[in-house]
Homo-oligomer: A and B are copies of this chain.
């Protein structure tokens, strides 16, 4: 274990802590702070050490006192202004020069602490600074000492650097890099070339507006036409006096992202750009090799959400129809027991289906965004907008967890009937699973092969057991809490986690599955469509159920290694069977391209062409930044502001 991290430094005493760390302003949190079992200042000194706390204090107070870093409440900066401000802040970091070489050598952890402090303020200037001084300079320095003069220019900001590995269509998959560097023996130069736009360097931080030089990864070709593998090269991409592109270089900004919009991520294409042979840096052994995308994971990631979309869409429409019946009753002033029961049942169903569907949508959007890699993070593809627009569904009309409590209350309200074995039914039939409560609790998982599990009747049976089991457990837990003298409110609260909350989730999943199972197994469904619909139903059921596997084992419904493995293998097998239907299943409900408005999601599937076209249409994608003189003329004086610290 690293020695500097081991506890050994004495933590000092109250007065030494007070000189390092000041007290918090008085307020409503005071009373909670007093309850702590330990002194937070002692903990901070113990964890970080005096030295690091002083560094943090120095950085934080420098930023707070500097107008360039001022906060502007309610500001709605456009992206361009934000990029300009980020660059000014980055220059300022040169002038503060928070850590000397000596300090870094004595305690390298300080670099990490410094970056975290600046990042907590804003990650954009922090990354801009680190990409230039750390990654770019590091790549050059580690190549050869002959670049040391060049590195001096980095630290005086005579040049500005970026690290260009990723390409538009190949991400960071090293083998897929298609930029070429061909050695020309006659002139002793390398010729850097981008074969087509899909091989454009892409996502490169600092490249969008500022970088004058790039470390470019390319396949090296020798004059005999042999590829010698991936190497890196130092290429000038903009003029240092004007920030205009160098001849043969097309360079620009990739546009708005979901976050970190102060940082200028860019693209570049090289058209036979010649560089001296000295500018080769090294072979690519230092680049993380990356395997091919594992396709079985991709489908496993997204296909269950596709199945969920079908099942939940059907459920929402069926619930809407239930509501229509209920409101029709209201309008005709029905006072029947059925009318009152409908109200309660709809409330219980909607209180749990909102959490289920808003969380599922949130996870699906995030999963899609991650499955698209960096491109999912590009604002134009709208995966972020879709996620962010869905996000308030998780809290409005009541927090999801509070709503789930209302559904479990509804289910618990049937316990008297269940215990007394009195006959009952709910108007829409969703509570009727409890009619067989005592019988169902005796059920076991009985499938003896993967093939056995391929129909949604298997997860449906498991869900029925799960609902009854969790109802019994919640009821027992509540009695226990009440017996121990807790108030009604407190007792109910203590039953939420692992009991009532799980009960409400299991119940609504069971209900959604029951309705979708009935629908997909209806004999009137066209025989051309039924197989795929049944597969969707089975996949949705098994995938949802798999999140409850621990409870199935814990409560004795399942036992042995096989049960879980059957379920997992059935999920994979269903994903495999649905793979070829996936595009068509999306086609069925996809909105037109104009509505979707996402280059990566257009119906043609020409995602790179579409993205490329959209980027070039972006205003000012290729423009020199209006604040170019802030780089070309007003250079920062390194360390100028250190005396202020």
Contacts and interface: CB of A to CB of B under 8 A. Distances in A.
A7 interface: yes
A256 B76 contact: yes
A519 B5 CA distance: 9
B294 A401 contact: yes
A123 B389 contact: yes
A296 B397 CA distance: 21
16 contacts: A7-B525, A27-B603, A32-B582, A35-B581, A35-B583, A37-B532, A38-B531, A42-B529, A43-B529, A43-B584, A120-B591, A172-B398, A288-B347, A301-B401, A377-B392, A553-B553
A380 B43 contact: no
B380 A293 contact: no
Given A260-B389, A528-B39, A565-B554, A594 B296 contact: no
A497 B7 contact: no
A324 interface: yes
Contacts of A318: 1-2, 5
Nearest to A428: B1
A321 B290 CA distance: 25
A114 interface: no
Contact of A385 (B259, B292, B321, B494): B259
A395 B172 CA distance: 10
Interface in A583-640: 583-585, 587-589, 591-592, 594-597, 603-606, 614-615, 617-619, 621
Contacts of A594: 60, 63-64, 71
Number of copies: 2
Contacts of A288: 347, 351, 397-398
A407 to B, nearest CB: 12
Contacts of A614: 73-74
B603 A29 contact: yes
Contacts of A565: 554
Nearest to A522: B7
Contacts of A532: 37-38, 43
Interface residues on A, range: 35 or more
Contact of A621 (B74, B256, B260, B621): B74
A4 interface: yes
A555 B561 contact: yes
A459 interface: no
Given A109-B320, A618-B73, A24 B564 contact: no
A40 interface: yes
Interface stretch (A95-103, A209-217, A368-376, A460-468): A368-376
Contacts of A109: 317, 320-321
Contacts of A531: 37-38
A7 B529 CA distance: 12
A621 B26 CA distance: 29
A373 B401 contact: no
B553 A397 contact: no
